[in-house]
Structure 1
Amino acid sequence: MILDVFQVLIAAKKALYSADKNSLATHGLHTELIYCLSGQRSISAALNTFGVQAESKHVVVVVIDDDGETFNTIATLIDGKHGNLDVLKDISDTEKIKKMCD
């Protein structure tokens, strides 16, 4: 559901801004980031669209405020290969994205 890393950067900036202003729409910074990725105003719809599903084959991991160990810890929990974000355009489901934007 993500075509470019720019989407993630904008969502992260919006989430951090909301957290700074104590105006989160969700209960946490990471769910706020997922909420900001969605064009919808439904938190559950955002989580269903951008959250990890049982059938997910590709996952973008965002670590905010990394202390140097957080990413390494998370990386060991992921069962799969780490890849470069340059492949997002190749692995994105553009038809599903178009449908969501309609």
Structure 2
Amino acid sequence: MHVTHELELFPEYSVTQMLFTDVKNAAALRKSAMEGQINGALINPAMLVDPFQALVAANKAVHLQKAGKMKTRSLLSEIIFNLSPTNNISEAFRRFGMSDGDGAVHVVTVHPREDMSDVDTILARVEGRQVPVGEISTFTDVPGIKKVVLCQYIWSM
């Protein structure tokens, strides 16, 4: 149900994506992530059309971390920030990060290629039903995404 990809430019790392629905402990998960107890970026799946978006964001985050050019404090927050078309970190978290009342979450974790312990920890902590990552488009909020893109276009004019 989860999908793991090796990063071509950084073969020592893998990115694993998991998708959950009927999540009952969103607030606790968010708090755990903010306290560093969960090694995963908690993303609002309504703002994604395809899991490839998260894979690209994770790849860029690893690249920026290696180059010492991250704009946020952690690799996981950099993943969420890289999903946003704006340079506003708080706006990126508000739109693309998980909220306390969310019933679904897309989790992205970057880990050493052979170490799946972070995945096991996340699977044990999420109180929800895991669904195939390929079903992410069923959660997509097209009007919400259009609003983000349109606002960015207007601001860039």
TM-score range, shorter chain: over 0.9
Local SS of the residue matching 2:124 = helix
Query: Residue type of the partner of 2:66?
Result: D
Q: Confirm whether residue 79 of structure 1 aligns to residue 127 of structure 2.
A: yes
Local SS of the residue matching 2:130 = coil
Rounded to whole Å, the distance in 2 between the matches of 1:91 and 1:56 is 12
Paired residue for 2:98, among 43, 47, 52?
A: 52
Paired residue for 1:36, among 61, 73, 82?
A: 82
Moved over 4 A (4+): none
Gaps of 5+ in 1: none
Pick the structure with more strand per residue: 2
Query: Residue type of the partner of 1:90?
Result: T
Query: What whole-Å deviation, never above 9, does each CA across 1:30-67 have from its counterpart, x for those lacking one?
Result: 00000000011001001111111022121111111152
TM-score when scaled to structure 1?
0.95
Paired residues for 1:1-102 under 5 Å: 1-66=47-112, 67-102=115-150
Query: Residue type of the partner of 2:64?
Result: S
TM-score when scaled to structure 2?
0.63
Query: Residue type of the partner of 1:75?
Result: L
Count how many residue pairs are aligned between Structure 1 and Structure 2.
Answer: 102
Larger mean Cα displacement after TM superposition, 48-57 or 21-30? 48-57
